[in-house]
């Protein structure tokens, strides 16, 4: 080969290699120098694609996310700062390693029990000129992208992150102003127009080609909870920690910063934040039994909580309805005032053992409310938890944590294994949101962290947003079914029935009075049918702030719940339940109360429902064949079903 040709070929090859090095990672020991670099991580052909970039001039990292060639999150800052190392700049690339995460696990509750996890994981290692090390771990799945920081020991406390998410400025946004109890309402903005302030880390955006929900996973007392800080006029949402200084005594792996992304059906059905979390710490889960709960607080208030006679009456009602649990709220264990426990004979004087024995004989388990301050120390937990287990209590509803600071997260770390050891299911109220906790600790059946039924300021629009925001990341204790709160809730009776399906909760606590259910036999009969767990979840139709209709399957039956904001209408719902013919029984609002519509439709047909203003519906669908007249299964209550359950079937 002539020398000029060899020179040209050599130059061409050198240029090709230089080009490839901008996308193909260097291996261990290679130092790319000051050049800009980027790396791509993806797991599925039509799934999201993360691109991590290193600015050669500043040594700063950024991450952007796209899906099918469209920008979901624009390149956004990545970095963490500790007492002894600034790992947000002057970084030099060291190496890349890759692996595939392929797992199966079975959840105790949630959108579906059997889960399959398939993710691509890339670990990028960097160093500062002083030799400080940072690993950025990025995971991509078909429904999301997440990253976390991994640091060696010896870098001191964490002072903050430079992490941020930059959304397209005009992207629709549904945001909840940050509160320590996570009970704010979601309101619509655009990414840039949202007022300056702090927002819940679960934030939904209408990104090009679909939706993106920002979230966290793997949060423990090793770190601090996060919120999103935003300045009006910008599409950037910065991660701010609850603590100004996060104690770090040894090696540190931070929580995952996650994006659940895809079309709205993908986001709604996603278990991505659970999939990121560590595997279950509970080996024997046979004692963990989800189910419906008759909750007495909104039904009778503190007076009911302090009365054994009233509680026995509620147990009787739960037993008659075949509801597996009854929850006893505030007041049952206090002798003087609500927060003063001074009687040394408090156990001997408590009527709880008598109630538990009474309920056990009727096949009803008891859940008890307790204040976090009474489980605050190891001594208090050693006093309460074994006693509750000995009495036969099935679960605890722990309230008033109201913090995601590291100190409170360390309390969660302590109480979780202790409640599991004493076979006590847990409902956290006034709490953090799930963030993967239900995979690692499956006896956590539900968490509040929501502006639920107790609120007097909820709107129908807020109710239609929750399935796409808060309830995406895990079980949500909204406490539906409070029919007696006429004028204190924004929705119709049929919509209230639908919430029992629309909102997933491992312990679905119904907040109504027995009288309110007896006055609405169709609602009562529908709640009687609700299963303890779900095999699958599908979004049938929805628009955040306007409408939400979800279908959840148990065996061969689908339960459907729908809520709407705005004027009365005839709603059209695609019946995407599968092929064949389906008997569909729909509870809706009529002129004089709830009415039942029964018809046979084919899978893929459109179910039309007359919805009142701020209304909704609940439906039950089962495979239809000749002779099938109802989807309702036999109930142990000897009382006959409402006449409307025995009517004709339309075809």
- Reported as a pLDDT band with limits 50, 70 and 90, residue 15 is very low
Q: Is the pLDDT of residue 10 over 50?
A: no
Q: Is the pLDDT of residue 30 over 50?
A: no
Query: How do residues 363-380 score in pLDDT, each as one tens digit?
Result: 999 999 999 999 999 999
d(CA 123, CA 374): 43
Query: How do residues 584-594 score in pLDDT, each as one tens digit?
Result: 999 999 999 99
Which pLDDT value is given to residue 523? 98
Which pLDDT value is given to residue 331? 72
Strand segments, DSSP code E, in 556-592 are: 557-564, 569-574, 581-590
Nearest to 499 by CA among 544, 552, 536: 552
Confirm whether 102 is a catalytic residue: no
Q: Is the pLDDT of residue 246 over 70?
A: yes
Q: Given phi > 0 = left and psi -120 to 50 = alpha, else beta, which region is 172?
A: beta
- Mean pLDDT of all residues in 633-649: 57
- 585 with 564: CB under 8 angstroms? no
Q: Which residue has the higher pLDDT, 411 or 642?
A: 411
Nearest-Å Rg of the Cα atoms of the chain is 27
Residue of 135, 216, 399, 404 marked catalytic: 399
Which pLDDT value is given to residue 11? 42
d(CA 131, CA 145): 29
Q: Measuring CA to CA, how many Å separate 332 from each of 245, 310, 363, 386, 527?
A: 39, 11, 21, 17, 27
Which pLDDT value is given to residue 642? 56
- Reported as a pLDDT band with limits 50, 70 and 90, residue 346 is low
d(CA 26, CA 35): 12
Which pLDDT value is given to residue 303? 63
- Reported as a pLDDT band with limits 50, 70 and 90, residue 47 is very high
Query: How do residues 401-451 score in pLDDT, each as one tens digit?
Result: 999 999 999 999 999 999 999 999 999 999 999 999 999 999 999 999 999
Q: What percent of the chain has pLDDT over 90?
A: 84
Environment class of residue 134 by beta-carbon count within 10 Å: exposed (0-12), middle (13-18) or buried (19+)? buried
Which pLDDT value is given to residue 27? 39
Which pLDDT value is given to residue 137? 98
Q: What percent of the chain has pLDDT over 70?
A: 89
Which pLDDT value is given to residue 350? 79
d(CA 53, CA 23): 10
Supply 407's token pair. 């100190």
- Reported as a pLDDT band with limits 50, 70 and 90, residue 16 is very low
- Mean pLDDT of all residues in 228-241: 98
- Mean pLDDT of all residues in 531-537: 96
Least confident of 7-21, 159-173, 206-220: 7-21
Which pLDDT value is given to residue 126? 98
Which pLDDT value is given to residue 317? 96
- Reported as a pLDDT band with limits 50, 70 and 90, residue 3 is very low
Which pLDDT value is given to residue 340? 43
**pTM given for the model:** 0.91
What mean pLDDT, rounded, does the chain reach?
A: 91
Which pLDDT value is given to residue 34? 53
- Mean pLDDT of all residues in 603-617: 97
Supply 196's token pair. 């300056």
d(CA 433, CA 414): 17
Owner of token pair 């993967």: 436
Which pLDDT value is given to residue 336? 40
Q: Is the pLDDT of residue 641 over 60?
A: no
Q: Measuring CA to CA, how many Å separate 227 from each of 237, 257, 446, 466?
A: 9, 11, 21, 18
Least confident of 34-48, 270-284, 301-315, 631-645: 631-645
Least confident of 29-43, 107-121, 234-248, 361-375: 29-43
3-class state of residue 507 by DSSP: strand
Q: Is the pLDDT of residue 337 over 70?
A: no
Count CB-CB contacts under 10 A for residue 83.
11
With respect to CATH, is domain 24-276 assigned 2.70.98.10? yes
- Mean pLDDT of all residues in 484-510: 97
- Mean pLDDT of all residues in 626-645: 71
Structural domain boundaries in the chain = 24-276
3-class state of residue 133 by DSSP: strand
Query: How do residues 456-472 score in pLDDT, each as one tens digit?
Result: 999 999 999 999 999 99
Residue of 183, 427, 454, 493 marked catalytic: 454
Confirm whether 161 is a catalytic residue: no
Q: Which residue has the higher pLDDT, 181 or 640?
A: 181
Orientation angle between helical segments 378-391 and 406-421, nearest 10 degrees:
30
Which pLDDT value is given to residue 349? 62
């Amino acid at each position: 080969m002539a020398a000029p040709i060899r020179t040209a070929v050599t130059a061409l090859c050198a240029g090709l290699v230089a080009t490839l090095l901008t996308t193909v990672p260097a291996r261990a020991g290679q130092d790319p120098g000051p050049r800009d670099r980027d790396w791509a991580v993806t797991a599925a052909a039509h799934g999201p694609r993360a691109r991590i970039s290193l600015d050669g001039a500043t040594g700063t990292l950024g991450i952007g996310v796209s899906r099918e060639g469209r920008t979901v999150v624009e390149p956004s800052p990545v970095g963490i700062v500790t007492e002894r190392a600034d790992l947000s700049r002057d970084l030099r690339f060291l190496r890349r390693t890759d692996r595939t995460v392929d797992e199966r696990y079975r959840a105790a509750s949630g959108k579906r029990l059997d889960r399959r996890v398939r993710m691509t994981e890339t670990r990028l290692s960097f160093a500062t000129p002083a030799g400080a090390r940072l690993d950025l771990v990025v995971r991509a799945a078909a429904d999301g992208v997440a990253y976390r920081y991994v640091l060696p020991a010896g870098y001191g406390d964490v002072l903050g992150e430079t992490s941020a998410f930059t959304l397209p400025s005009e992207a629709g946004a549904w945001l909840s102003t940050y509160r320590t109890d996570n009970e704010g309402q979601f309101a619509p903005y655009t990414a840039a127009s949202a007022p300056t302030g702090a927002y819940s880390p679960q934030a939904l955006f209408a990104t090009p080609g679909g939706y993106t929900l920002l979230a966290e996973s793997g949060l423990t007392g090793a770190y601090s909870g996060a919120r999103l800080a935003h300045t009006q006029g910008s599409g950037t949402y910065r991660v701010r920690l609850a603590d100004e200084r996060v104690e770090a005594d040894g090696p540190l792996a931070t929580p995952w910063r996650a994006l659940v992304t895809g079309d709205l059906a993908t986001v709604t059905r996603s278990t991505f934040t659970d999939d990121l979390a560590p595997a279950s710490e509970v080996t024997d889960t046979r004692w963990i039994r989800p189910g419906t709960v008759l909750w007495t607080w909104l039904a009778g208030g503190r007076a009911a909580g302090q009365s054994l006679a009233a509680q026995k009456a509620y147990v009787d009602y739960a037993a008659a309805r075949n509801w597996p649990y009854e929850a006893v709220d505030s007041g049952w264990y206090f002798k003087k005032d609500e927060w003063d426990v001074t009687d040394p004979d408090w156990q001997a004087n408590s009527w709880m053992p008598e109630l538990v024995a009474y309920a056990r004989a009727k096949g009803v388990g008891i859940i008890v409310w307790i204040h976090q301050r009474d489980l605050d120390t190891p001594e208090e937990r050693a006093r309460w938890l074994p006693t509750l287990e000995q009495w036969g209590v099935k679960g605890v509803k722990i309230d008033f944590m109201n913090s995601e600071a590291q100190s409170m997260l360390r309390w969660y770390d302590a109480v979780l294994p202790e409640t599991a050891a004493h076979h006590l299911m847990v409902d956290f109220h006034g709490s953090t949101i799930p963030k993967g906790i239900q995979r690692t600790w499956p006896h956590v059946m539900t968490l509040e962290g929501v502006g639920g039924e107790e609120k007097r300021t909820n709107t129908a629009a807020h109710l239609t947003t929750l399935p796409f925001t808060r309830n995406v990341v895990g079980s949500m204790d909204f406490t539906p079914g409070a029919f007696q709160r006429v004028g204190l809730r924004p929705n119709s009776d049929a919509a209230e029935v639908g919430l029992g399906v629309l909102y997933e909760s491992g312990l679905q606590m119904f907040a109504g009075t027995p009288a309110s259910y007896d006055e609405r036999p169709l609602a009562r009969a529908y709640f009687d049918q609700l299963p303890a767990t779900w095999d699958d979840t599908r979004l049938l139709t929805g628009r955040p702030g306007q409408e939400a209709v979800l279908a959840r399957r148990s065996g061969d039956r689908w339960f459907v719940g729908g809520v709407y904001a705005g004027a009365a209408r005839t709603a059209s719902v695609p019946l995407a339940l599968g092929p064949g013919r389906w008997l569909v029984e729909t509870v809706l609002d009529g002129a004089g109360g709830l009415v039942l519509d029964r018809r046979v439709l084919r899978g893929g047909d459109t179910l039309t429902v007359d919805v009142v203003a701020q209304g909704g519906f609940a439906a039950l669908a089962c495979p239809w064949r000749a002779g099938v007249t109802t989807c309702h299964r036999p109930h142990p209550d000897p009382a006959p079903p409402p006449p409307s359950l025995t009517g004709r079937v339309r075809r």
